[in-house]
Each structure stands twice: as structure tokens, then as C-alpha cells.
Amino acid sequence: MCGRYANFLTEQELVDAFAIATLADDARLLPPTFNHGPMQVGVIIRQRSDARVGEAAKWGLVPGWAKDSGIGSKMFNARAETIAQKPSFRNAFAKRRCIVPANGYFEWQVTPEGKVPQFIHQANGSPLAFAGLTEVWRASADDPWLITYSIVTTAARGEMRQIHDREPVMLTADDVETWLDPASTQDDLFAAIDSPAPDLTWHAVSPRVGNVRNNDPGLVEPQ
């Protein structure tokens, strides 16, 4: 699973890394986050016409047919194995894919001393591009639209299996193009999901990351 990540990328870093044409005002105003949890608002990247845009969205996908937005608290991850069949995700997978940018993410490794939080990131320091899904929802025609998202996960591979049995789908630059392209076939999308993950490294961090109210640069520093 992926239940906590960090995104302290600057606007220019987002533009440079993901070729964003526009960062919406609501996304531009979001502060850096070192401990981003479900039901919080973060930045997603979508393809609109021929340009990529960065927008603010709430982490926890709410399908358009949902009767209330509370369902989002259980929908912050979407399993790749069932993404094309599960009613909660299949429409977004087919039509509304996004990228979730991050500096890295947190996972709790089981050790003889107990669970130890690890900060996992690219070895070269480049941003990660999580495969995401997005939806819009509103309670009634008189209410504003709520934009939400979920991060796609898959079975952990290679050395990551010593940390956890699941990992977020992390896309290469070429796979980002495929994921955001509305013309991509389902076979194309699953090939992107199955592509090798980037070169990752990790280190133990403070247990303070377990409380989402803690949000400071010290949370990503080695302990």
C-alpha cells in the first residue's frame, strides 16, 4: 500500500520534471508537505487537450456515483490487479488517469524491534511519478465539484519486498506519457504498470511520521 508520502517539490521543479504547462492557483498555494496522508489535498498532474496541468485534489477517490464523499477515506489506493474490473476504479482507469508527484514515500518495515518507518525515494534524488486515478464528484447540482485521486499499487518487486508486500506504481518518463495519453490501450497501460521501477533507496526515519499532524523537513531525514 501507499498511505503516506512527501511532496516538497517547488513549482519550478514540478514544471521541469513533468513538463507542466500550467499549475492551477489552488495547487500553487499548497504548502510543501513532508507527511502527506489520505484525505488531505495534494497536487496531481493531468492531461488536458495538448497540455499538462497541475491541480489540487483530495487524496481518497470518490466515484461519481457515490452517495457521499466519505467513501474516499477507504479509496486512497487502487490495486493494479483489479483496477480494470472494480466498479470504484474502472471508469477512472479508462478515462481519468493522473500522475501524483512526490519526493518519496513512507513504508513501515517489520523488524525484530518492531515496525520502523522507512523513507523510500529515487537514488539520484529525482521526483517520483506515481500512477494515479482521478474523479470529480458533487453532492448536488448546486454544490461545487470535489476533485479526488487514488494511487495505484502493485506487488512489491526485488529488494522492495523486504520493506513491504505492496508498492506504489512508479512510472518512468516514457510510461508517464503512456499513462496520461487518452489514446493508450489497456495493454499499453498494463505494460506501463509492469515496467521496472526506478532505482530506489531508503533509510529509517523518525517514528513521528506516524502522526500525520507532524509535518516538517526532519521527517525525511535519516535516523
Residues 46, 149 contacting (CB under 8 angstroms): no
Residue 139 has pLDDT above 90, yes or no: no
In a domain, 161, yes or no: yes
In a domain, 67, yes or no: yes
pLDDT above 70 covers what percent of the chain? 100
- Of 133, 140, 151, 141, nearest in space to 69 by CA: 140
Spatial separation of the C-alpha atoms in residues 179 and 46, rounded to whole Å: 10
Number of domains the chain contains: 1
In a domain, 91, yes or no: yes
In a domain, 215, yes or no: no
- CATH code for the domain in which residue 48 is found: 3.90.1680.10
Q: Residue 152's beta-bridge partner residues?
A: 78
Tens of pLDDT, residues 59-96: 999 999 999 999 999 999 999 999 999 999 999 999 99
The burial of 201, by beta-carbon neighbours within 10 Å (0-12 exposed, 13-18 middle, 19 or more buried), is given as middle
Tens of pLDDT, residues 163-192: 999 999 999 999 999 999 999 999 999 999
Tens of pLDDT, residues 21-68: 999 999 999 999 999 999 999 999 999 988 999 999 999 999 999 999
Alpha-carbon radius of gyration of the chain: 17
Name the residue range of residue 187's domain: 5-105+126-197
In a domain, 95, yes or no: yes
| Residue 181 phi, psi dihedral angles, 5° rounding | -75, 115
Confidence band, pLDDT 50/70/90 cuts, at residue 117: very high
In a domain, 45, yes or no: yes
Average per-residue pLDDT for the chain: 95
Sign of the alpha-carbon torsion through 148, 154, 159, 164: positive
- Of 3, 13, 4, nearest in space to 45 by CA: 13
In a domain, 217, yes or no: no
Confidence band, pLDDT 50/70/90 cuts, at residue 197: confident
Active site amino acids: 2, 107
